[in-house]
Chain A
Amino acid sequence: MTATETQPQRSGQGMNLKVLGPILALVVLVIVGAALNGNFLSAANITNVLSRSAFIGIIAVGMTFVITGGGLDLSVGSMAAFIAGLMILVMNAMLPMMGPGWPLVFVGMLTAMVAGTLAGFVNGFLITTMRIEAFIVTLGTMGIYRSLVTWLADGGTLSLDFGMRSVIRPIYFDGILGISWPIIVFALVAITGELVMRRAAFGRHAAAVGSNDQVARYSSVNVNRVRMLTYVFLGILVGVATIMYVPRLGSASPSTGVLWELEAIAAVIIGGTMLKGGFGRVWGTVIGVLILSLIDNILNLTDGVSPYLNGAIQGVIIILAVILQRDKKAES
């Protein structure tokens, strides 16, 4: 049984690279960015990059739990677009009764939260109770939400009433002490997520379910309930992200949130969470999100690289980040 004896040592050695990989990639990106453009480290640029990371970031924290629990959610981008459209429709409809003001903003927020919770519940119900593959369920709901928002918008764009837009704008653009609200909310969500993953029973249960649901079941973990909750939490976080998103441009269209699901999944994987489930790392996900948005930012700030190649560069860095953190011994 020499194999079992050396096992803990192996993973112990691997952890260092696994932990350092994404951080190293982020540090390299920051150095490259600062070298290429003097404005890269300016407060305005950093605020911009962090604020725009917040949507994917908040969603990716929820996605970390879903993937850790052995699931996957492809519907989050379409779901965000649909919830944004719904939120705008509800606020526009209530405007004549309530007038533009904060009470109406709260109605909009409530709409987004309720819709997000329900959407997460539907995914979770179909996956756990109806026992359909997560990939299939969320592929289906992805198409459903995308069609629904196209239908709601009549193929065009749903726009928030102009008077209301100036009321709701501060949610994206203002903040406390120069730190904008999306950054604050993203930070709070990430810290809570990290604590739940590390310290709470729910985080351990999600990892157990993702690692081996039979063993988890014998250990008296309510597998279905844990899985269901990961999807509901993700739905709620999509609602939160949408609340941050709508104030930015005051509109939702069928092109809102396209490919967000893949960006969120990429961020989770770059951050060191295992795609097959069983191990998740929320702070890694946050770094993954920052890496993805910094690449975009740096490419926009520099000349010399054809914009046609942006996707290729992102792809290379995603693969590199994962190679950097791979447990080398796992191959053999």
Chain B
Amino acid sequence: MKFTKITAAALAATLAMPAMAQDTKVIGVSIPAATHGWAGGMNFHAQQAVDRLEEVYPQLDFVLATASDPAKQVNDIEDMLATRNISALVVLPFESEPLTSPVKAVADSGAWVTVVDRGLAQPGIEDLYVAGDNPGFGKVSGEYMVSAMPDGGDIVVFRGIPTTIDNERVEGFQEAIEGSGINVLAMEHGNWNRDDSFTVMQDFLSKYDQIDAVWASDDDMAIGVLAAIEQSGRDDIQFVLGGAGMKEMVAKVRDGDPMIPADVTYPPSMIATAIEMTAVGLTSTAPVSGTFTIGSVLITPENAADFYYEDSPF
């Protein structure tokens, strides 16, 4: 809890010496709590970025708040605006709709707003938008499937929790495999969850006698799928393609596991990118407003080492 101490000390200093307060700018960071793997990774990278930037920029202070639901996140942001006088807000909205007006209030107060990953319901509020490329994630996955199965084949597809993110990915995937001879036998929601995907894959294996490959579309789901395949003892499934870049899966790609020949990134470290760019925007004359899309990259055995973060929980 070194961070809390730093902010507490900074707060004390601000109260004691009002003259100095003008030189210090506060950046508020509001993100969802670490309740699943990807969010855990994001929390890790957010903390790393804050720790690093506090050293690099002595004139910047950071407030980091994690929320377990949208209502708590709204409270966090209101507190930051009311009590910490933030100059900038980096926010990964829990849900677009409920967060739109609180974030707009921050923007109206004159502070800089950086929105990460999930957009707000109303355009034009944020100064900077940093996001992963969901249609691109599906496209890269689909293109890999096509290249790995040049003669086509039968696949099953696992979808995430029903959201627009999931829809964009699946649409991108379907466009990429169109006309390739790859036939989607079935799609089902594994909800980005290992247990759900395990049971769905068991049922798929009962339902179909021949499955050539699986697009699990997420690494947690891929783990459940792999366990179900192993239990069934079937050898018709050639490979499983996950996604997001979980370190255990990146390690499998790196070590040449035949069932996991590749992975597609959707990096939780994008929060670090957003925080860094916001810090640059506040401290320099370099323009950083606009939209920054982080492309989804195909991880193969050749480049896997670049995507393996030893200390990250994800």
| A binding-site residues for B, Cβ under 8 Å | 37, 39-40, 42, 44-45, 48, 52, 150, 153-157, 159, 173, 248-249, 251, 253-256, 258, 296-297, 300-301, 303, 307-308, 310
Contacts and interface: CB of A to CB of B under 8 A. Distances in A.
Contacts of B44: 154-155
A156 B204 CA distance: 28
Contacts of A255: 35-36, 193-195, 220
Given A48-B206, A157-B37, A249 B313 contact: no
Contacts of B33: 150, 155
Output the residue of A40, A156, A159, A310 with the most chain B CB within 10 A. Answer: A156
A39 B206 CA distance: 6
B203 A253 contact: no
Nearest to A173: B231
Interface string B189-230: 100011100111011111100000000000010011001000
A301 B43 CA distance: 38
B35 A150 contact: yes
Contacts of A173: 231
Contacts of B37: 155-157, 253
A154 B194 contact: no
B195 A296 contact: no
Contact of B162 (A39, A48, A303, A308): A308
B79 interface: no
A173 B231 CA distance: 7
A134 B304 CA distance: 50
A301 B203 contact: yes
B55 to A, nearest CB: 23
A59 to B, nearest CB: 14
Contacts of B204: 300
Output the residue of A39, A173, A256, A300 with the most chain B CB within 10 A. Answer: A300
A45 B34 contact: no
In terms of DSSP, what is the predominant structure of the interface of chain B? Answer: helix
Given A254-B36, A303-B186, A307-B188, A249 B198 contact: yes
Contacts of A307: 159, 187-189
Contacts of A297: 199, 203
A248 B231 CA distance: 10
A48 B205 CA distance: 11
A155 B198 contact: no
A155 B43 contact: yes
A156 B313 contact: yes
Output the residue of B193, B206, B314 with the most chain A CB within 10 A. Answer: B206
A326 B202 CA distance: 35
> 5 smallest A-B Cβ distances: which pairs?
A155-B34, A155-B40, A156-B313, A300-B203, A156-B40
Contacts of A310: 189
A102 B286 CA distance: 61
Nearest to A298: B203
Nearest to B224: A249
29 contacts: A39-B207, A44-B232, A45-B203, A45-B206, A48-B199, A154-B40, A155-B36, A155-B37, A155-B41, A155-B44, A155-B313, A155-B314, A156-B40, A156-B41, A156-B312, A157-B220, A248-B195, A249-B194, A249-B195, A249-B223, A249-B224, A253-B36, A255-B193, A255-B220, A300-B188, A300-B204, A300-B207, A301-B206, A307-B187
Interface in B118-132: none
Contact of B194 (A39, A42, A156, A253): A253
